[in-house]
Structure formats: structure tokens, C-alpha cells
Amino acid sequence: MSDTQPSDTAPYDELRRSLRETATLASAAAVLGWDQETYMPPGAAAFRGEQMAALSAIVHERHTAPRVGELIAACEADASLDDEAAASLRALRRDYDRATRLPTSLVRAFAQTTSRAMHAWREARERSDFGAFAPWLQEVVDLNRERAQAFGIPAGGEAYDALLEDYEPGMTAAEIRRTFDALRAGLAPLIREIASNGRRPDDAWQRTPVPVDRQVGFNRWVVERMGFDFQAGRMDVSAHPFCEGIAPGDVRITTRYRDDAWADALSSTMHEAGHALYEQNLPKAERFGQPLAEAASMGIHESQSRTWENLVGRSRPFWEWALPEMQRALGEPALQALDVETVYRGMNVVQPGLIRVESDEATYNLHIMLRFDLERALLAGDLAVADLPAAWNDRVRDDLGLEVPDDAQGVLQDIHWSMGAIGYFPTYTLGNLYAAQFWTAIRDALPDLDGQLRRGEFAPLTGWLRENIHAHGRRYTAPELCRRITGRPLGHEPLLEYLEGKLRPVYGI
Ligand code: ZN
């Protein structure tokens, strides 16, 4: 914060200017981060680390500066500010208090430990040796307990709640547990029924080799029709697909292509484009750096990606529209005889597997629930780190009916814990739950939704999402947004009904 502001500047104006400057610095780091995953030459890696560290230190310092705290307090005392400013201040107060409650020594210990833990995790996964990672995971759990204490554990709550605030503000572990348990009680039997039914829709056509440049052309056409603005965004290639909302007018997505996996590439592109539409529609031009120009939560962000990837991209109406263009754009003779029904069924194969990121729309949630239960037990001290692999393998056997052959395909498969992230996993299934529940409201608001999708008219859907979700930024927490849109708190029923309603006919059960 500069000392040269004129003394008659209203605190709210000074606060907004400061937030915009901080966000501008953070956006420069985001460009560097995007470059690192896409075009950066390997020789730049070491110095890029220094660049990112230097920028993030400045950003952190600015976020936690005492002057910011003074300005927030001055604005809170100003009765003339409107509702929007009040909503913005609630979010800023929360962020500022959280950021300043952690002692610097703990912030440093967490950064150093997780950076080494990620390295240890990579080696341990390569050798499938959980024992080599276990001491690091113990440190990550211990440090997260300390962080939770420093943030403050809400009355009647638990340490997990304090960590969850980083990802899903306003949500509690107990509420997630209730919703997940109810979902699991309906979903696990459905998946078992499908697995034992013996039928499997034909999806061999998905492995028809298609040159990558033709896949790129088809994917670009789809996201453009979805409403992704290429004047304000890019689509590139990276090892792990992602979306980066860098700045006003600059939202970038990536996809991963393989000759024999064009349908996976399309799903991944639609997923990231769903994130991107949220980022492009947040009111960043006027409010860059302010909470009302930021996403409500990670679960809400994920609901947008899952809406496009699954509710749209795996629907029959979507394929009635997309099939002829897919056949023309990909051009492979083997794809020309496909009909809508075959593609629709093949896009909805359910197959329990060991690896979360390769799993289908239904079994994916079982992967998330087991991670949520286990990390919550670790944090509470109800599960020892040494007992984690056995607990993991038992749960995979119970829920997915599979034996875990080694830790690399079991407890070591995800990077999250090594990064220090406890409380992140549930946001993926929360995204599926929010998406399904919002979809019921969208159907009410857009009675001709199926007809619109069938004609490739996505504007009514994107307009609804913009007006009801994107435009609000962080004005409402995710639970508030859910009640506002659907009139109810988040529940397991819409997702379960959607999956039952789709998968039973696909599998004839
Ligand atoms: Zn996502």
C-alpha cells in the first residue's frame, strides 16, 4: 500500500485501488504459470521458480498489509456503503483475518514442508512405496492441524471445517458427510448392479485413431459454440488440462490430445471450457481484484465444468446436434456409420476403476468420498498414517469391488496431500451435486432446454448460468447461492436421480 494517497480519499476507493493493483501483480504470476505448463523451454524452469516465488511473496505481503486491515475496518464503519459493498467487505474481512491469523513461522514451515513432500511423493509413487512418503504425510497432517487451530475451529465444528474454508467457504464437514453418505448409499448399489449386469455399451469407436490437428479443429468449434470468447481467451495443449482465469479479457484453457482418445479430449475440453465461461462472465472489467469478480467457491467452479462435460456433453440432445459435425470434422471413415444412440450410450459407460482421474461420471464420486472420509479421519487423529493404505484398499474393495495391486494405483495416486491440500477433494463431488441440483432449476426456467441443445443453441443456457451464478461472484457463499437458485440446501437427490434416470435405461436395468 502506498503512502502517497491523498488524505481525502474515501477508504473504499483506496481499498479498491489497492486490490486491483494486487490482483494485477497476481495476474502477471498467472501468465508465468500458464507459460510454465505450455510453452516454457525446460532451461527456464529454475529461474521461473524464482520469478513465481518473488511475485507471490509481494502479493501475500500486500494482502496482509496492516493498511488493508485499517481500510477494511474503516469501510465496515461506513454506513453509507451499499449492499454490494457490504457483501464485498464480508468476503474481504474473512480473507484478511484468515491470511493474518497464521504466524509467519507456520506459513514458512508449511511452504517448505509441502515443497519437499511433493518431491518425496513423486519418488514414492514411482517406486510404489508408501513408507517413503508416510513421514511427509504425517508432517502435512500435523501442520494442517496447526493451521486449523490458528484459523480457529468454529463452535460445534471440527478442525476440518477450518481447512475447508479455503476451498468451500460456508460449508461444514458434517454437512458434506451427511450428503455424501446419503449419495453413497444410493450410488454404490447402482454401480454394483451395473458392474454385475454384464452388458457394456459399445465404446470401441472412441479409440478410432484421429489425427490431433483434426481433433483440435472440432474442439475449437464446440467451445466456440458454447460461447467461449477466443478474443478474450486461448486454447492450448498441456500434460494436465487446466483453466486459468488470468485477467479481464484473458482466460486460457488447455486440453490433452492422444490419437486414439478423441472423445476423452472432447470431454476434457468441454470441462475446462465450462470453467472458462465462468471466468469470462465474472464481472472482472469493472471489479478486478474484488470478491464480487471472483468465483463463489471451488465446488461452484467445478459445477460449471461438470455441467458442460457431463450434463450437456454426455446427453442425447447434445449428440443429436454434434454427431454430424463430429463426423465431418474428424473425417475418419470408421466414425461415419455411427448413430446418435450408439454414441450416447458409449459416452455413458460406467466401469469401476482404480484411478480417480480416469473414472466415469458415476464412480468418480465414490473415489472422492473415500478420500474425504480418510483425510477427515487422519486430521481428527482417528486414523494413523501407517494404517492409511490398508484403510484405502478396504474401501476400494467395498465400494468399487476391486483389489488394489500396489500403492501407486492406490493411496499414492493423487498429488493433493503432498501439496498440503486437505479439504480440497470434496469440492469435486460438491461440483457434481451442485451441477445436478442447478440443472433442475435450469430445466424449470428453460422448458425447451433439450430442444435448444439439439439445435446447438447454447445461448439460453449460458445466459441462465451468467445471470444466476457468474454475475454474482462471491456475493453469496456456495450454500447461499444453492438456496437462492433452487430454494433448498444442497442434497444428494438430484444427482442420484439424474444418474439413475440416465444409467438404468442405458444399461437396461
Ligand atoms: Zn475442474
**What spacing in Å lies between the alpha carbon of 74 and ligand 1's midpoint?**
37
- Cell numbers for 3: 503512502
Provide the 8-state DSSP code for 289: T
Let me know whether 117 and 232 are in one domain: no
**What spacing in Å lies between the alpha carbon of 135 and ligand 1's midpoint?**
30
**What spacing in Å lies between the alpha carbon of 360 and ligand 1's midpoint?**
14
Q: Is 357 helix (H, G, I), strand (E, B) or coil?
A: helix
pLDDT tens track for 37-79: 999 999 998 899 899 989 989 999 999 999 999 999 999 999 9
Please check whether residue 94 is in contact with residue 151, taking contact to mean a CB–CB distance below 8 angstroms: no
The stretch 455-474 carries a mean pLDDT of 98
Which of 99, 97, 165, 91 has its CA nearest to residue 474?
Answer: 91
pLDDT tens track for 409-419: 999 999 999 99
**What spacing in Å lies between the alpha carbon of 254 and ligand 1's midpoint?**
12
**What spacing in Å lies between the alpha carbon of 239 and ligand 1's midpoint?**
15
pLDDT of residue 1: 45
**What spacing in Å lies between the alpha carbon of 442 and ligand 1's midpoint?**
21
pLDDT tens track for 417-455: 999 999 999 999 999 999 999 999 999 999 999 999 999
The enclosing domain of 213 has a CATH number of 1.10.1370.30
- Cell numbers for 478: 456456495
User: Residues of the chain with pLDDT > 70: what percent?
Assistant: 98
User: Residues of the chain with pLDDT > 90: what percent?
Assistant: 94
**What spacing in Å lies between the alpha carbon of 275 and ligand 1's midpoint?**
7
Let me know whether 344 and 461 are in one domain: yes
Beta strands in 83-240, from DSSP E residues, in sequence order: 233-237
Let me know whether 145 and 244 are in one domain: no
Lowest mean pLDDT across 47-56, 283-292, 294-303, 495-504? 47-56
Does a structural domain hold residue 162?
no
Let me know whether 86 and 144 are in one domain: yes
pTM reported for the whole predicted model = 0.95
Does a structural domain hold residue 445?
yes
Catalytic option among 165, 272, 279, 361: 272
Q: Report whether pLDDT(358) > 60.
A: yes
**What spacing in Å lies between the alpha carbon of 427 and ligand 1's midpoint?**
10
pLDDT of residue 198: 84
Structural domains of the chain, count: 2
Q: Is 142 exposed, middle or buried (0-12, 13-18, 19+ CB in 10 A)?
A: middle
Of 98, 118, 152, the one marking the end of a domain is 152
Let me know whether 101 and 220 are in one domain: no
Angle formed by the axes of helices 130-151 and 363-380, to 10°?
70
- Rounded distance, CA 436 to CA 427, Å? 14
**What spacing in Å lies between the alpha carbon of 431 and ligand 1's midpoint?**
9
Let me know whether 87 and 221 are in one domain: no
Does a structural domain hold residue 437?
yes
Which of 86, 63, 163 has its CA nearest to residue 475?
Answer: 86
**What spacing in Å lies between the alpha carbon of 78 and ligand 1's midpoint?**
39
Element (H, E) at 442: helix 426-445
Does a structural domain hold residue 4?
no
The stretch 181-202 carries a mean pLDDT of 94
Q: Report whether pLDDT(9) > 70.
A: no
Predicted confidence band of residue 276 (pLDDT cuts 50, 70, 90): very high
**What spacing in Å lies between the alpha carbon of 167 and ligand 1's midpoint?**
13
Let me know whether 135 and 179 are in one domain: no
Does a structural domain hold residue 476?
yes
How are beta strands 233-237 and 250-255 bridged, if at all?
Answer: parallel
Containing domain of residue 49, as a range?
Answer: 10-152
Does a structural domain hold residue 30?
yes
Does a structural domain hold residue 414?
yes
Which of 507, 357, 354, 494 has its CA nearest to residue 436?
Answer: 494
**What spacing in Å lies between the alpha carbon of 392 and ligand 1's midpoint?**
24
**What spacing in Å lies between the alpha carbon of 457 and ligand 1's midpoint?**
24
- Rounded distance, CA 81 to CA 32, Å? 37
Let me know whether 102 and 224 are in one domain: no
pLDDT of residue 222: 98
Let me know whether 34 and 99 are in one domain: yes
The stretch 388-406 carries a mean pLDDT of 96
pLDDT tens track for 319-354: 999 999 999 999 999 999 999 999 999 999 999 999
Which of 411, 421, 419, 365 has its CA nearest to residue 387?
Answer: 411
Of 123, 152, 181, the one marking the end of a domain is 152
Q: Give the chain's mean pLDDT.
A: 95
Q: Report whether pLDDT(464) > 70.
A: yes
- Cell numbers for 440: 433442475
Q: Is 417 helix (H, G, I), strand (E, B) or coil?
A: coil
Please check whether residue 184 is in contact with residue 191, taking contact to mean a CB–CB distance below 8 angstroms: no
Let me know whether 318 and 233 are in one domain: yes
**What spacing in Å lies between the alpha carbon of 102 and ligand 1's midpoint?**
28
pLDDT tens track for 481-505: 999 999 999 999 999 999 999 999 9
**What spacing in Å lies between the alpha carbon of 138 and ligand 1's midpoint?**
28
Let me know whether 140 and 217 are in one domain: no
- Rounded distance, CA 81 to CA 69, Å? 17
**What spacing in Å lies between the alpha carbon of 338 and ligand 1's midpoint?**
29
**What spacing in Å lies between the alpha carbon of 65 and ligand 1's midpoint?**
32
Let me know whether 341 and 445 are in one domain: yes
Residue 272 among the catalytic residues: yes
Q: Is 371 exposed, middle or buried (0-12, 13-18, 19+ CB in 10 A)?
A: buried
Of 120, 152, 184, the one marking the end of a domain is 152
The stretch 134-151 carries a mean pLDDT of 98
Does a structural domain hold residue 293?
yes
pLDDT of residue 49: 87
